[in-house]
């Protein structure tokens, strides 16, 4: 699920193509914005893509019913929030316990929670004067950025960093590395659980 340019989606596509993700595939991309470049990335790679514009749904349940319809149609078993700028309800999250993950551009529990997204995270980190930041992949629960941590990777903050420079470094050195790795780990777990049920 995406809302923007899809750089994390591209990292996932590259990871599937290079064999880093070998136990799963990207079955669909769902965008909350019609003009998200992530949809173009999906089309270029032959991935089913859908747009469910959040602004068209005043009711959260109707919006989430539309998401659910797509997830069921595509037999999705893992939901990856890759720059998805919509908060999902507790009810939605409970339906997919330990099956929704998110990548956050800081070392949780620092600079996370309500209002911390995009460049705001990096500005807060720089304003605070941290020497190390990074990224976290975590399970999604009913608390924003509150789910169990799966993977983290630290990135050094350098003198003269701006929020934009730090964002780019954290994407390249952390987010794009640990998000595909976490996906592969969870896909392996899902396959193992399925075999145990047989």
By CB neighbour count within 10 A (0-12 exposed, 13-18 middle, 19+ buried), where does 55 fall? exposed
Cα–Cα distance, 26 to 179 (Å, whole number) = 13
Confirm whether 104 is a catalytic residue: yes
Name residues whose C-beta falls within 8 Å of residue 35's C-beta, 6 or more positions apart in sequence.
Answer: none
Beta strand segments in 86-191, E: 100-104, 132-139, 149-156
> Which listed residue (41, 54, 104, 177) is catalytic?
104
Query: Positive or negative CA dihedral for 63, 93, 30, 166?
Result: positive
Q: What angle do CA 102, 104, 107 make, to 5 degrees?
A: 130
Per the rule left: phi > 0, alpha: psi between -120 and 50, beta: everything else, 41 is: alpha
Query: Positive or negative CA dihedral for 118, 164, 82, 39?
Result: positive
Active site positions, annotated:
104
């Amino acid at each position: 699920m995406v809302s923007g340019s899809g750089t994390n989606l591209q990292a996932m596509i590259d990871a599937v193509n290079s064999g880093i993700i070998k136990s799963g595939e990207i079955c669909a991309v769902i965008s909350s914005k019609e003009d998200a470049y992530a949809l173009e990335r999906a089309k270029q790679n032959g991935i089913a893509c859908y747009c469910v514009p959040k602004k068209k749904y005043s009711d959260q349940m109707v919006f989430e019913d539309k998401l659910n319809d797509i997830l069921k149609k595509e037999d999705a078993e893992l939901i990856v929030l890759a720059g998805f700028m919509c908060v999902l309800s507790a009810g939605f999250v409970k339906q997919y316990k330990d099956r929704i993950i998110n990548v956050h551009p800081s070392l949780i529990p620092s600079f996370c929670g309500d209002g911390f997204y995009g460049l705001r995270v990096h500005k807060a980190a720089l304003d605070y004067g941290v020497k190390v930041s990074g990224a976290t992949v975590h399970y999604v629960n009913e608390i924003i950025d509150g789910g169990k941590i799966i993977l983290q990777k630290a990135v050094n903050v350098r003198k003269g960093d701006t929020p934009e420079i730090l964002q780019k470094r954290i994407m390249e050195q952390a987010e794009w590395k640990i998000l595909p790795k976490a996906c592969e780990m969870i896909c392996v777990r899902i396959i193992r659980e399925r075999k145990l049920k047989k």
